[in-house]
Amino acid sequence: MGIRERKERERERRRQQIIVAAKRVFCEKGFNRATMEDIAKEAELSPGTLYLYFKNKDELYASLSLRILQYLIIRLEHVNSNSELNAEERVDALVEAMFDVYDFDPLIIINLFHLQSSETLKNLSEEMLGEIENLSRKSLSAIADVFRKGIDEKIVLDRHPYALADIFWAMFSGVILWESSKKIINDDKDYLKDTLRAAFEIFTRGIKCQGTLQ
Amino acid sequence: MGIRERKERERERRRQQIIVAAKRVFCEKGFNRATMEDIAKEAELSPGTLYLYFKNKDELYASLSLRILQYLIIRLEHVNSNSELNAEERVDALVEAMFDVYDFDPLIIINLFHLQSSETLKNLSEEMLGEIENLSRKSLSAIADVFRKGIDEKIVLDRHPYALADIFWAMFSGVILWESSKKIINDDKDYLKDTLRAAFEIFTRGIKCQGTLQ
Amino acid sequence: MGIRERKERERERRRQQIIVAAKRVFCEKGFNRATMEDIAKEAELSPGTLYLYFKNKDELYASLSLRILQYLIIRLEHVNSNSELNAEERVDALVEAMFDVYDFDPLIIINLFHLQSSETLKNLSEEMLGEIENLSRKSLSAIADVFRKGIDEKIVLDRHPYALADIFWAMFSGVILWESSKKIINDDKDYLKDTLRAAFEIFTRGIKCQGTLQ
Amino acid sequence: MGIRERKERERERRRQQIIVAAKRVFCEKGFNRATMEDIAKEAELSPGTLYLYFKNKDELYASLSLRILQYLIIRLEHVNSNSELNAEERVDALVEAMFDVYDFDPLIIINLFHLQSSETLKNLSEEMLGEIENLSRKSLSAIADVFRKGIDEKIVLDRHPYALADIFWAMFSGVILWESSKKIINDDKDYLKDTLRAAFEIFTRGIKCQGTLQ
DNA sequence: GATGAATGAGTATTCATTCAT
DNA sequence: TATGAATGAATACTCATTCAT
């Protein structure tokens, strides 16, 4: 391992250290009430150091979302590349993948919405904006691919695959957001998962061509 | 009408005037970038006056959401009180009601999530918190009632009505949030409505007992 | 006096109060080391209040310069409008006027240079930029007028009046800056005035047509 | 050449390398907006290295001025040591020298004023302060010498030579500063030189004893 | 000597909220 | 009631300087 590579690795380690600290602080306080100093303290670094790794607060925040999008894509591509599955099993695998994503980071998905707010987007670098868009496209495209196969095999409603993917994603994030927003009353994660499971079941039933499956 | 009542009426008029102005400003600038002075200007009042009608910025913001919740409840109760409808028609009427709500205020529904963030809730008075909780419960209860009837008549999956209501609401708001978040690329309101319609269709199909309907 | 006029007067009073405080602080600490909080304290106001009267630090600073330019112009116009003076007396009156300006505010003239730095100019409002340019033009024009008369009467070198005005002004400010910069060694204001006087004398001799005077 | 001497030479080379880079950056961005990192990059060194050669930013900045003062003195001493010139020719040679100095570094002369600001001086080492004072004295003394000879020969006004030198220098720098400050409107270097030439002419006429010359 | 990552003090500016009128 | 001037706490971000390697 060359010296350059080692440095790069060290740098990436620091980035992750900061991201982890930021995640904790953002989760606890929310975006606006979390200060850069809070995050620096949590990461046991000085405020200035944060700016060596992230252009500004918004870009640090966006990095959190990027991480889950990357995980999501890996998981989705794994579903699509598994040629042993038939269309129906693939839909089920998709649902499983979403559960994994939720387990990977139950809180950060909420942030994906904050990320999308135009307030935030204005402060991001072209590079990061491009990456967000790219990853968003990729993940939606991967979801659509699952449905496309089902449509081809005529076991899924003949809707545009992207439209189904949109609805699937909207339902997924809608349940998480909605159930999370009730957390003040009920912080029971199992309840959320149950709802998620039920929602996926209803969705899966809803998209199936009549009589074909069950 | 006594003098006291007249005053109360006048006071309510002012509140509405401020709420309308706030809505415009929040929609245009988002919560954080909208200043109390902006809102005061839009309402043609002075900043100080706003505080005679609302405890603070968060409470003013919450009032916007209260308004749509009230509309939602009226609409839902209308669905439930219409004894001419059978269970299936009632589900359809529910869907129609949600479209009305969306038309009533397409933007403010996004705010319901901001409202729920713990950041905001901390600044609200007990009274307002109570009212939010009350209205939320009521509306969810009304949605659940629609499904309960369907379950009773065995044309809807035998799930807990509240669970179905949760999923229904989550899908509704999920689609709106998700499609809205794509607005940078696609600000087409019809597309959103189409997705909403498709989502409702899938949901409706998904909750129906096999073989029962269509 | 209407209520509006009274308010306007009050507002102007506050502006002056801030300008006076700012002048003291800028003189003592220099532009960069003077903080807005320093100035606020000196003016017995809060930092926020400063921003009700001046857009930013640069604009507050620029206001100081505006004040002396205004005084300068009044003084110069007085010289030009005095029809009793012949060309030679008018040059002498010009010199006297410059002494007055120096007495009016010996320190702030140094600021005119800081003001002109492109760093500063970028932060000024269009309005203020326009006013600065306008006043600068006017004052130089007034100086040129003095020389124009002398040229017409053939007792002053036949140079472009504006060129003479430029040199006159450059010498004036050059002497002040140069002598002031030596203040660490010699803070004697009389010495500065003596040098100024000598400089003006040399200038006056230098611009006179040969043989014409003395 | 011993090893020590070689090292010293190497060290001086580096200093010059940094000074040259600093000059470029300061000219482009101004003192405050130029960061040590900018300069380090321009010099193709690391920020830390700059501090091996200069105590701090102010001292680096001051070094730039020292360089021009050194050039100025060499040029002035050359004028004084040329015994072939009579007093009048010497004044002309002085003027020529100043043009050379301006050509040597048209921009850095502006910095001499920044240097003198008490803000800056406080951060300089005793040694550097001493050198600045020493060089300033020397250069002024050399200018005064030119005039002294003229006074002795009674072709220049019988003023204190230092007073004349002060005025001469003030006019020189005043013209440069003043014309430079107008650069936003007119970045014409020839115009500046023309003004400088005219200013010197007026000054030269102004200091001459009546009837003696021309 | 040289590096450059890390530091952390320093500050302009904003804006929700108050209160004298 | 209504005003709107004044407040002052709060914070993102910069950059000269240091020091372990």
- A118 vs B contacts (CB less than 8 Å): 30, 184
What are the mean pLDDT values of chain D's consecutive 10-residue runs (214 residues total)? 84 95 91 94 97 95 91 95 91 95 83 76 87 92 95 91 95 90 63 91 87 44
Residue C55 vs residues A98, B112, C20, C36, C120: alpha-carbon distances, Å: 51, 36, 17, 12, 13
- Judge whether residue D36 contacts strand E, using its CB and a 7 Å cut-off: no
Using the CA of C47, which nucleotide's C1' is the nearest one? Answer: F8
C202: tokens are 């040399």
CB–CB contact D179 C166 (8 Å): yes
Return positions of chain F under 7 A from a protein CB: 1-20
What is the model's pLDDT at position B199? 96
Q: How confident is the model at residue A214, as a pLDDT?
A: 41
Tell me, yes or no, if D122 comes closer than 8 A to chain C by beta carbon: no
The CATH number of C57-207, from 1.10.357.10, 3.40.50.300, 3.40.50.620, 3.40.50.150, is 1.10.357.10
Q: Which nucleotides of E are covered by protein (CB under 7 A)?
A: 1-20
| pLDDT tens digit sequence for B48-92 | 999 999 999 999 999 998 988 999 999 999 999 998 998 889 999
* Interchain CB contact of C158 with D (< 8 Å): no
Contact C174 D173 (CB under 8 A): yes
Q: Is the pLDDT of residue B158 over 60?
A: yes
Q: How many Cβ pairs closer than 8 A exist between chain C and D?
A: 125
Among B177, B194, B198, select the one facing A174 at the smallest CB separation.
Answer: B177
Residues in chain A, pLDDT under 70: 1, 118, 183-189, 210-214
Question: Which residue's alpha carbon is at the shortest distance from the C1' of F12?
Answer: A36
**Neighbour subunits, A (≥3 Cβ pairs < 8 A):** B
Check if B167 contacts A (Cβ < 8 Å).
yes
Ramachandran angles phi, psi of C141, nearest 5°: -60, -40
Which residues of chain D does C199 touch, with a Cβ-Cβ cutoff of 8 Å?
167, 170-171
What CATH code is assigned to C1-54?
A: 1.10.10.60
Q: Which pLDDT belongs to residue D98? A: 95
Half-sphere exposure of A36 (CA within 13 A, CB side): 15
A49 touches strand E (CB under 7 A): yes
Cα–Cα separations (whole angstroms), residue D34 to A197, C2, D40, D58: 59, 51, 11, 12
Q: Is C34 helix (H, G, I), strand (E, B) or coil?
A: coil
Indicate the average pLDDT of chain B: 88
Nearest Cα of chain A lies from the Cα of B174 at a distance, in angstroms, of 4
By Cβ distance, the residue of C30, C118, C206 closest to D202 is C206
Rounded CA separation B36/B44 (Å):
12
Give the closest nucleotide to C55 (alpha carbon vs C1'): E13
Q: Which residue of D has its CA nearest to C194?
A: D163
Residue nearest to nucleotide F7 (CA to C1'): C46
- Using only C-alpha atoms, what is the Rg of chain B? 19
Q: Could you tell me which of A90, A109, A102 has the C-alpha nearest to residue A207?
A: A90
- How big is the CA angle at B15 (ends B14 and B16), to the nearest 5 degrees? 90
Structure tokens at A211: 């009589």
Does the distance separating the beta carbons of C198 and D202 come in below 8 Å? no
Q: Are D174 and D182 in contact (CB under 8 A)?
A: no
Per-residue tokens: A161 = 């695959």
- A51 close to A37: Cβ distance less than 8 angstroms: no
Q: Which of residues 20-49 of C touch strand E (CB under 7 A)?
A: 33-37, 47-48
Closest CA to C146 of C213, C194, C97: C97
How many CB contacts within 8 angstroms connect chain A with chain B?
Answer: 125
Nearest nt by C1' to D33 Cα:
F15
In contact, A155 and A213? CB cutoff 8 Å: yes
CB atoms within 10 A of CB A71: 17
Residue in B178, B180, B203 to test binding to A, most A beta-carbons within 10 Å? B178
- Closest residue in C to D185 (Cα) is C133
Chain C residues whose CB is inside 8 A of the D194 CB are 163
CA distances from B66 to B30, B79, B107, B172 (A): 18, 20, 14, 18
Subunit partners of chain C (3 or more CB pairs within 8 A): D
Q: Is C118 on the interface with D (CB under 8 A)?
A: yes
Among positive and negative, which fits the CA dihedral A134, A136, A140, A142? positive
| Closest C1' nucleotide to D7's CA | E1
Sorted by where each begins, the domain ranges of chain B are 1-54, 57-207
Q: Is the CB of D155 under 7 A from strand E?
A: no
Which CA distances in Å does A21 have to A40, A61, A114, C10, C194? 8, 11, 18, 51, 66
Sign of CA dihedral C59, C65, C71, C76: negative
Tens of pLDDT along B9-36?
999 999 999 999 999 999 888 888 999 9
The pLDDT of residue C53 is 97
Residue nearest to nucleotide E3 (CA to C1'): D46
Tell me which of D166, D204, D210 to substitute to probe the interface with C (most C C-beta atoms closer than 10 Å).
Answer: D166
Q: Do A198 and B170 touch (CB under 8 A)?
A: no
In 3D, which of A52, A57, A50 has the Cα closest to residue A32?
A57
Q: In whole angstroms, give the CA distance from residue B121 to residue D19.
A: 58
pTM of the model: 0.90
Q: Is D126 on the interface with C (CB under 8 A)?
A: no
Q: How far is the CA of A31 from the C1' of F21 (A)?
A: 37
Percent of chain B with pLDDT over 90: 59
Which nucleotide's C1' is closest to C34 (Cα)? E11
> Does the distance separating the beta carbons of B118 and A184 come in below 8 Å?
yes
CA/C1' separation B109–F3 (Å)? 33
> Chain B contact for A7, CB < 8 A?
no
Mutate to test the interface with B, among A29, A136, A181, A192 (most CBs of B within 10 A): A181
Residue nearest to nucleotide F18 (CA to C1'): D48
Of B208, B214, B9, B195, which is closest to residue B99 (Cα–Cα)? B195
Gap between the Cα atoms of D50 and A156, Å rounded: 68
Task: Report which of D118, D102, D11 is spatially closest to residue D58, judged by C-alpha positions.
Answer: D118
> Could you list the mean pLDDT of each consecutive 10-residue stretch along chain C, which spans 214 residues?
81 95 91 94 97 96 91 95 92 94 83 75 88 93 95 91 95 89 62 90 87 44
Distance of alpha carbon A133 from alpha carbon A141, whole angstroms: 12
